[in-house]
Amino acid sequence: MRTKLSSSTTVFRPQPEATKVADAMIQTQFSIFALLALFLSNALGFYSVNLGWDPPTQYTDGSPAAPADIGGYVLHYGSTSQQYTVSVDVGNVTTKTITGLLDGTTYYFVATAYDIGGTESGFSAPELVVRPPAPGDTTPPTVSITTPVNNTSVTKKSTVTLSATASDNVGVTTVSFFVNGTLTCSATTSPYTCAWKVPTAPNRTYQLQAKAYDAQANIGTSSTITVVSR
């Protein structure tokens, strides 16, 4: 006599009596043999994953399972380990593409097989963990010039320290300072400062601006600071 397990889920095929395999139970555990680690992003920003697995070859009592015994497979998955909120009966195939996965979310997959009588196996092991990549950083840094103060004067021929604060959701890589639109100098570490040699001419107006960059080359631009040389 074959061993009959109590394992059951709600996802089952109809069980035509004529083809029912009495007391048959597909091997409790079978392995998902391969994950084609190919994530396909669609236009809506969802990901797909291709899954494949080997057919079970045994019943739980160790007796052989023929390919003709297999009725189909169910993929179970969710975003918490051991908690499968979605079950998909994929029929009698050994590959399946699951779509609609969210980026930055971890998914846990297992599979079950059911025999032609509809008796379902336990979960495959181990869980297959799938992580669509986190979305790229598209948020620019923010930056503002702290010195000199807007609408103040600077001394001609002196060296003035330009200072800025900058922040980013990931990280600021560089802050560049511009005087009248011309790149004057850059800093890569906070506090971001720059030594600016004020030209000799008096009563000249200078417009100062800083730009902050992150690793994805997003650019944040500061407000313009106006100073006059005296």
Residues near Ca ion, by CB under 5 A? 137, 139, 168-170, 214, 218
C-alpha to C-alpha distance for 87 and 109, rounded to whole angstroms? 10
Q: Which is nearer to Ca ion, 58 or 144 (CB)?
A: 144
CA dihedral 72, 70, 118, 27 (to 10 degrees): -110
Q: Which is nearer to Ca ion, 69 or 214 (CB)?
A: 214
Q: Which is nearer to Ca ion, 42 or 169 (CB)?
A: 169
Burial of 58 (0-12, 13-18, 19+ CB in 10 A): middle
∠ at Cα 111 (106, 117), nearest 5°? Answer: 155
Closest by CA to 134, choosing from 47, 63, 51, is 47
Residue closest to Ca ion, measured at CB: 214
Q: Which is nearer to Ca ion, 208 or 212 (CB)?
A: 212
- Quote the least distance from Cβ 137 to Ca ion, whole Å: 4
- Quote the least distance from Cβ 220 to Ca ion, whole Å: 8
- Quote the least distance from Cβ 138 to Ca ion, whole Å: 7
- Quote the least distance from Cβ 139 to Ca ion, whole Å: 4
